[in-house]
Amino acid sequence: MAAPDELFCWEGDWGLPSVSTDCLVVLAYAQFAGAPLKLRKMSNPWRSPSGLLPTLRTNQKESLTRPSDIIIHLRKQKYNADYDLSAKEGADSLAFISLLEEKLKPALLYRDATECLNLLSQRLGSHKFFFGDSPSSLDAFVFGHLAPVLKSKLPNGKLQQHLKSLDNLSNFCSNILLLYFPRHGRESCGQKTSSPAPPDGGDFDHVPNKRRKQVLSAIVALGAMLSYALLTGMVSIQQEALEEPPDRETVVGSHGEDEDG
């Protein structure tokens, strides 16, 4: 039996399995589709095969870094969370993913971001997921974009407060955490679990774990300050999202949690 593909991604914080939007998208999709991946979480992107995170290293030693490319590869391997979608639902999914990328990822205007959240809230309604009882790629993209906004520690998060006011969207993020990343979901609800720290690979091996966490916290704090500036209209720039850092885990990919190993 062939060895599973390896996924390199940033480690987590704030009760999330990763601090990176793109990594969260891929992690969520892998869980939804039941894709067995060897997961390596890290705080040093230069230890990934591409120097970027996320990176999927396939059995053919190909490195994929864009979430869309990784999802396409997993679909080709028969791990398809969109298998049951109709043509119209597939088109709707692409439209909402484009909306997320345009309005939330660059975070150019607070007004645009809130309008995007309102549209997502209206589309989700009282449903558990966007297309019924089973999650799809759209759910993975929405979770990846909204969970950091919901869980991050911002000094004055106007967009965060708006998201929290939309009960169905905030519950959507929390439910995915509890269903597909239960260890992190319990921690985000204040139920701390004790587990040994998974081994890190890379240049930080000789640095005590506390020091690695301090480095990661500094990176996260810088990103949070930039996000706050963007979301409140203080800064107006348009650029590709900065890639972010790994530990070693295995994503089982069924309706369970990633396990430290």
Domain harbouring 79, CATH code: 1.20.1050.130
Q: What span, in angstroms and rounded, lies between the C-alpha atoms of 197 and 67? A: 27
For residue 229, is it within any domain?
no
For residue 226, is it within any domain?
no
For residue 219, is it within any domain?
no
For residue 9, is it within any domain?
yes
The total number of structural domains in the chain stands at 1
pLDDT tens for each residue of 135-150:
999 999 999 999 999 9
Of the ranges 40-44, 116-120, 194-198, which one carries the lowest mean pLDDT score?
A: 194-198
DSSP 49-95: TTSSSSEEE-TT--EE-SHHHHHHHHHHTT--TTTT--HHHHHHHHH
**Burial status of residue 192 (CB atoms within 10 A of its CB: 0-12, 13-18, 19 or more):** exposed
**Burial status of residue 128 (CB atoms within 10 A of its CB: 0-12, 13-18, 19 or more):** middle
For residue 245, is it within any domain?
yes
Residue 128 belongs to domain spanning: 5-192+241-260
pLDDT tens for each residue of 190-235:
544 433 333 333 333 333 454 454 445 445 444 544 444 444 433 3
pLDDT in the model for residue 192: 45
